[in-house]
Amino acid sequence: MTEDSPNRRALITGVTGQDGSYLAELLLAKGYDVWGVVRRSSTMERPRIDHLHQPGADHSERFQLVYGDLGDASSLFRIVEEVQPDEVYNLAAQSHVQVSFDTPEYTADVTGMGVARLLEALRSLRPEARFYQASSSEMYGKVVETPQSETTRFHPRSPYAAAKVFAFELTRNYREAYGMYALNGILFNHESPRRGENFVTRKITRAAARIKLGLQDQLRLGNLDAKRDWGFAGDYVEGMWRMLQADVADDYVLATGETNTVRLFCEHAFARLGMPLTWEGSGDTERGLDAARRVVVAVDPRYYRPAEVDLLLGDPSRARDELGWVPEVGFQGLVEMMVDADLALAEADAGRSARP
C-alpha cells in the first residue's frame, strides 16, 4: 500500500499489542498520522512497536505515543481533545479468556466499560470520527449455529466474552442513538509471530522450537479438542481498515472459513521441525510422543477453562462481498510462519546461553 491517505489522523488504543502493531504499520504506510495509546509500565520496552518510533525509523515523524488507559476516562477525553482523530481503532482490552475468569471485574471494566468511556469522549469532543470496536468470535461462545455470521445470536462463555458483548451492543447503540459512524469487526482468532506467548498457537510454536533445540522438555496444554478458525493478524488489520472506509457503518465478520483443532495445530508445528507426533491415551492422560517416544506434549487440566468454547467457524462472505476482503495466509502457512519465527528466536537464545 502506498501513501494514499495524507494528513488523516488515526488513534489506536492497544497499539503495543499484536494487532495494534500491525495496524500502526499499515496506517503509517498509507500516509496516516498515527497516535498510539500506551499505559505506563515499569519497563520502557515495547518490542512490537519499538521499530516504529525510534529516531530514524521509517515514518517515525508521523507516529506518536500518548499515555492513557481505558480505565481512566479523563485520559481518554484529554487524548481525543488533543488528537482530534478522523479514525479511532479501539484494540485495547484485557484480551485473555482464561485470565478473565480470574479477573472478571477488571476485565468487565477495561474490556467493557472502557468502550463506554471512549465512546463518550468521542460523542462529546469528536462525534464525526469513525470508530472501530474490536469485537470477537468469543461472543458466539456456545454456538447456536455453524458457521457463525453477522446474524448469529451470541452466547458468551466467559467474563471476557460477556464484556465484549456489552461493548458490541454499546457500539451499535451509539451508531443508532447518535448517528455516529461506529462499527464492530467480529474477528475470529488471528495469530502471528507477534502473538502473546500465553495464547495457544504461540505457546505451541514457541515450545516446539525450544524442544527441538533442547531448551525445553515438554509442552503442557489444556483442551486439545477445541476447534478454532485461525487466520493471520496481518490480513485482519487490513480488514479493520477496509471496514472504516465503507460509506455506511456496519458490523462485519472476519474469518478464514476453516476450522482446526488444537491437536492438529500441534501436529503441524512439530512436523515443520521434523518431529512428527504420535498420540497415546485419552482425556487427561493423552500425550504426544516424538519419534524417540519421548513425551513432548502432555495434557494439564490446569489449562482447562470453567466453560469452554468448543467450536468456532466464521462465515466471512459479507466482508468478501462488500469490502473485497480475502485473507491471504491459510492454516498451514500460518503455522509455518510462526514456527519459523520461533525457531529463529530459540536459536538466538541457544546461542546466548552457549556463550561463555
- Rounded to the nearest whole angstrom, what is the least distance from the CB of residue 283 to ligand F7E in the complex? 13
Q: Is 158 in the site for ligand NAP (CB under 6 A)?
A: no
Question: Binder to ligand NAP among 5, 136, 171, 223 (CB under 6 A)?
Answer: 136
Contact positions with ligand F7E (CB under 6 A) in 178-217: 188-189, 198-200, 203
Looking at residue 311, the DSSP 8-state letter turns out to be: B
Smaller CB separation from ligand F7E, 182 or 221: 221
Residue 53 has which C-alpha cell?
A: 518510533
Near ligand F7E in 214-243, by CB under 6 A: 221-223, 226, 228
Task: Please report which residue ranges of the chain form alpha helices under DSSP H.
Answer: 18-29, 50-53, 73-83, 97-102, 104-107, 114-125, 159-178, 200-212, 233-245, 262-272, 317-318, 331-354
CA–CA separation, 116 vs 161, rounded Å?
16
Dist. CA 209–CA 143, nearest whole Å: 34
Mark 254-293 with x for binding to ligand F7E (rule: CB under 6 A) and - for no binding.
Answer: --------x-------------------------------
Residues 95-114 that bind ligand F7E (CB under 6 A): 95, 97-98
Supply the DSSP symbol for 303: G
Q: Count how many Cα atoms sit within 13 Å of the Cα of residue 2 in the half-sphere of its side chain.
A: 0
Q: Does 100 bind ligand NAP (CB under 6 A)?
A: no
Per the CB < 8 A criterion, the answer to whether 12 and 35 are in contact is: yes
Q: Which three cell numbers stand for residue 106?
A: 477488571
Residue 198 vs 278, nearer CB to ligand NAP: 198
Residue 325's binding partner out of ligand NAP, ligand F7E, none, with CB under 5 to 8 Å set by partner kind: none
Q: Which of the stretches 85-93, 259-267, 314-322, 338-346 binds ligand NAP when contact is defined by CB under 6 A?
A: 85-93
Cβ(181)–Cβ(220) under 8 Å?
Answer: no
Q: Which of 93, 122, 319, 341 binds ligand NAP (CB under 6 A)?
A: 93
Q: At which residue does the C-alpha cell 481503532 appear?
A: 89
Q: Could you say whether residue 259 binds ligand NAP (CB under 6 A)?
A: no
CA atoms of 352 and 356, how far apart (whole Å): 9
| Min dist. Cβ of residue 342 to ligand F7E (A) | 15
**Please, what is the minimum distance in Å from the beta carbon of residue 38 to ligand NAP?**
6
CA pair distance 75, 266, nearest whole angstrom: 42
- Quote the CA–CA distance of 285 and 280 in Å, as a whole number: 8
Which does residue 91 touch among ligand NAP, ligand F7E, none (CB within 5 to 8 A, set by kind)? ligand NAP
- The number of angstroms, rounded, from the C-alpha of 19 to the middle of its chain's C-alpha atoms is 5
Q: Is 97 exposed, middle or buried (0-12, 13-18, 19+ CB in 10 A)?
A: buried
Q: How far is the CB of 137 from ligand F7E (least distance, A)?
A: 5
Q: What part of residues 102-131 is at the interface with ligand NAP (CB under 6 A)?
A: 110
Q: Is 133 in the site for ligand F7E (CB under 6 A)?
A: no
Find cell 501436529 and name the residue: 267
Q: Candidates 29, 30, 31, 39: give the one binding ligand NAP (CB under 6 A).
A: 39
Binding segment toward ligand NAP, per CB under 6 A, in 176-184, 187-195, 201-209, 240-248: 187-195
Name the percent of the chain in helix, strand, coil, to the closest 5.
Answer: 45, 15, 40
Min separation Cβ 248 and ligand F7E, Å: 25
Binding stretches for ligand F7E (CB under 6 A): 95, 97-98, 136-138, 188-189, 198-200, 203, 221-223, 226, 228, 262, 303, 305, 308-309
**Binding footprint of ligand NAP on the chain (CB under 6 A):** 13-14, 16-20, 37, 39, 41, 69-71, 91-95, 110, 134, 136, 187, 189-190, 196
